[in-house]
A and B are shown apart, each in its own frame.
Chain A
Amino acid sequence: MVTPRRTVLFEQQKALGARCINFGGWEMPVQFTSIIDEHQAVRMACGVFDISHMGEVFVSGPRAFDWLQHMLANDLAKCPVGGGQYSFLLNERGGVIDDLIVYRMAEDNFLLLVNAAKIAEDVAWLQQHATEGVTIDNRSDTMSALAVQGPESARVFREVFQCEMPARNTFIAMEKCRGAVIAAGTGYTGEAGFELFFANTLAGDVWAALLKAGAKPCGLGARDTLRLEMCYPLNGSDLSPDRTPLEAGLGIFVALDKPDFLGRDALIAQKESGLPGRLVALRMTEKSPPPRAHYPVLVDGQAAGETTSGALSPSLGEGIAMAYLPPALAKPGQAVQIDIRGRHFAAVVEKKPFYRPSSGRAA
């Protein structure tokens, strides 16, 4: 087995009592005190997640914009300098290689924030398609990242950086504030908050400052329940090379009106022929064990699909899950059953998301 990698904050987190799991080849905190406590801290106050395992890939050069317009599914023309945009790397079949956030650092310089388990694959895919006038610079090994999320994030930001938190989907580059830090108004929990990207050497200082300002250390366990309540997909679970963003219900992040991008032909063909499945939100309607990934989903006793993610929602106190179902069964109100260890429990297709945060945005 390959030895898992650790972020530069590993020892500091261990000292705080972090319990770690292997995630995407990284030994990461799954929780510090309790997933439920950490989840509620983000919904009610403020939590901080080490996301240094995620990848930072810079794409620059005179051809960078045109080339990324071809490589990415969303319309980069709608992302001004100083903005961030959710997008996809798709294969020729329109399937998802990775979902990512692209930050436009300058007219011809972009930062791609990609999933930890996909860094090598993404970089190889980009390099394989690279052309002249484009430079791909993978700085994942030398950069760290932290996500601060929750209604008190703006106060924490002011306390640590003495300026205002960047607005949703924008970022600011702070050159002289605790060193060079990129602060973006993005996140994966649905709450207001920010994400920070900086050199590994700054990580200890920034982490300590955020904790001192009141952010509670949170692990990947709470990150998963928080994102699932929002129906934000996790690549490798809810997204895969065999499913398109259209099937995942993420068509608003795919610019089919762009003249050309990788996977476009397949998506248009799929749209014309009809989607084979749709990713739906499922809520348990009777007392049951928590639903989890890879549980069979049935309709009237007949196999209809399989859960891709599932958890007991700490905010709702109910079991929630996502699953790909045939389009005819993918309508809110559709009754289904989830097979948990051989027993069938009632659930229903819900409108996304499961939860509407008090801070941040609705979807």
Chain B
Amino acid sequence: MNVPDDLKYAESHEWIRLDGDTGTVGITDHAQNELTDIVYVDPPKVGDTVTAGQPAAVVESVKAASDIYSPVDGEVIEVNDALSSEPALVNTSPYENGWLYKIRLSNPSQLDALKSPDDYRAQIG
């Protein structure tokens, strides 16, 4: 499974890519592979406040609806509109075109609690 070196990871299989005080959030290659056949994405709304460890989005595969947990606190500043017509982008491009939402971090120190790529690799074996 692909685990890029430039991201931080949550134990619940989300990733975050930092750009100044904002971050882009998605689910990992491992997570999309486990879910398979993603057919619907319910993103948060721009302006929503999301909380670390709390559900921020729902990703639905054919077999189940799965909560996606925000890796850190923040305000949603953008969602990936492309997923409404092409949810399978989460399967085909989990780290690029299949990103879920962008947030302005309100508590950047929470990043320290996230996993490094090596730690996440160890978690998924």
Contacts and interface: CB of A to CB of B under 8 A. Distances in A.
A312 B39 CA distance: 8
B42 A314 contact: no
B60 interface: yes
A30 to B, nearest CB: 6
A35 B42 contact: no
Nearest to B64: A292
Given A289-B40, A312-B40, A341-B42, A35 B58 contact: no
A287 B63 CA distance: 18
Contacts, number: 38
Contact of B62 (A19, A35, A287, A289): A35
A17 to B, nearest CB: 11
B11 interface: no
B62 A225 contact: yes
Interface string A18-60: 0100000000001100111000000000000000000000000
A34 B39 CA distance: 12
Interface string B23-64: 000000000001011011010000000000000001011110
A82 interface: no
B62 A311 contact: yes
A49 B36 CA distance: 19
A30 B64 CA distance: 11
B82 to A, nearest CB: 15
B77 interface: no
A289 B37 contact: no
A166 interface: no
Contacts of B36: 19, 31, 34-35
A179 interface: no
B65 interface: yes
A40 to B, nearest CB: 11
B65 A221 contact: no
A290 B39 contact: yes
A312 B42 CA distance: 15
Interface string A274-287: 00000000000001
A341 B42 CA distance: 10
20 contacts: A19-B34, A19-B36, A30-B63, A34-B37, A35-B36, A221-B62, A221-B63, A225-B62, A287-B84, A288-B40, A289-B58, A289-B60, A289-B65, A290-B39, A290-B60, A290-B62, A290-B65, A292-B65, A314-B62, A341-B42
Interface of A: 19, 30-31, 34-36, 221, 225, 287-290, 292, 311-312, 314, 341
Interface of B: 34, 36-37, 39-40, 42, 58, 60-63, 65, 84
